């Protein structure tokens, strides 16, 4: 029986997230595709991939406040443009996976997810199960979706990961970030920031207080939003947050040799 592994490719790993225009980290995507192929070839795991939006989604969503709804003609056009940019990013990733002989299949959330006033109410996970049963690798992503109260809103890749991890019998969730894990403060601006090797119920509140927002174009709460989302949705599921910009990180996690942050919440 293969174990289910859910891998989240963070927007900061697969794109230059601070870029005001869409810009993919092509070399990183190609490397990660090869590393994912190595895992797949072990024949031990079923894989679900979820990727972030990075510079293909966040800047335009923030500029036109698409995370708060769609009311004007300008927002309607911006929603379509964001949709196209996300398709472009997803295509880059799918192509890299296919070049490594991985049977990846794109499942854009906007085609089957609807929210209400920005709140996620779940979706039928049977389509994911069907893909796994046919040895396919479903690839989902953070996306703009229709919203019956606001017109549109944003569903984050982290929300999708948490939901699927609870719906399906998941062995482990791996989040690939652009830093080594969760720190006591932002390691990019604070040289005294220290890596937190493990987050549990005991230190959860303290960790959250230390996570302050940055000036990035992010409409999904950045790392603080990520951890809160995980605490709500990933109880009793082993989680690792590690640096996806470093080679062989995925293999190190599976060999339990990673130096990232482990989440053990219940």
pLDDT of residue 232 exceeding 90: no
Token reading at 96: 């890299």
What is the C-alpha to C-alpha distance for residues 183 and 88, in angstroms, rounded to an integer? 32
Tokens 């859910």 belong to: 6
Give the tens place of pLDDT for each residue, 50-64: 999 999 999 999 999
Which of 213, 191, 209 is closest to 199 using CA atoms? 209
Bridge partners, 49 (sequence order): 7, 139
- Give the CB-side neighbour count of residue 71, counting CA atoms within 13 A: 6
Give residue 220's pLDDT band: very low, low, confident or very high (50, 70, 90). Answer: very low
Phi-psi region of 186 (alpha: psi -120 to 50; beta: other; left: phi over 0): beta
For 99-113, 188-202, 229-243, which range has the lowest pLDDT when averaged over its residues?
229-243
Q: How confident is the model at residue 215 (pLDDT cuts 50, 70, 90)?
A: low
Average pLDDT over residues 153-181: 93
Amino acid 265: pLDDT: 75
Nearest to 138 by CA among 149, 148, 130, 147: 130
> Is residue 189 classed as helix, strand or coil in its secondary structure?
coil
Q: For Cα atoms 200, 170, 49, give the angle at the middle one, nearest 5 degrees.
A: 100
Task: Give 190-208 pLDDT, tens digit per residue.
Answer: 888 889 998 888 888 888 8
Going from the N-terminus, what domains does the chain have, and what CATH number goes with each? 3-264 (3.40.1160.10)
DSSP state letters, 183-245: BSS-TTT-TT--B-SEEETTTHHHHHHH----SSS-SS-HHHHHHHHHHHH-TTS-EEEEETT
Least confident of 32-36, 40-44, 164-168, 229-233: 229-233
pTM of the model: 0.91
């Amino acid at each position: 029986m293969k174990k289910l592994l859910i891998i989240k490719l963070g927007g900061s790993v697969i794109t230059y997230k601070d870029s005001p225009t869409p810009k993919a980290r092509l070399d990183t995507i190609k490397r990660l595709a090869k590393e994912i192929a190595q895992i797949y070839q072990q024949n031990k795991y079923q894989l679900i991939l979820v990727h972030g939006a990075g510079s293909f989604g966040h800047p335009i969503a923030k500029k036109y406040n698409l995370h708060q709804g769609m009311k004007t003609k300008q927002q309607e056009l911006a929603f379509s443009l964001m949709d196209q940019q996300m398709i472009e990013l997803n295509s880059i990733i799918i192509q890299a996976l296919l070049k490594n002989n991985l049977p990846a299949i794109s499942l854009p959330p906007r085609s089957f997810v609807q929210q209400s006033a920005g709140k996620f109410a779940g979706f039928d996970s049977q389509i994911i199960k069907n893909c796994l049963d046919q040895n396919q690798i479903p690839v989902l992503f953070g996306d703009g979706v229709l919203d019956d109260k606001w017109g549109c809103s944003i569903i984050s890749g982290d929300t999708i990961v948490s939901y699927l991890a609870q719906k399906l019998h998941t062995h482990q969730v791996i989040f690939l970030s652009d830093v080594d894990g969760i720190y006591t403060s932002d390691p990019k601006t604070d040289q005294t920031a220290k890596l937190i090797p493990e987050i549990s119920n005991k230190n959860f509140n303290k960790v959250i207080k230390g996570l302050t927002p940055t000036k990035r174009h992010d409409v999904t709460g950045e790392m603080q939003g990520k951890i809160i989302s995980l605490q709500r949705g990933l109880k009793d599921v082993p989680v690792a947050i590690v640096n996806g910009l470093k080679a062989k990180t995925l293999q190190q996690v599976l060999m339990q040799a990673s130096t990232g942050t482990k989440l053990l919440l219940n």
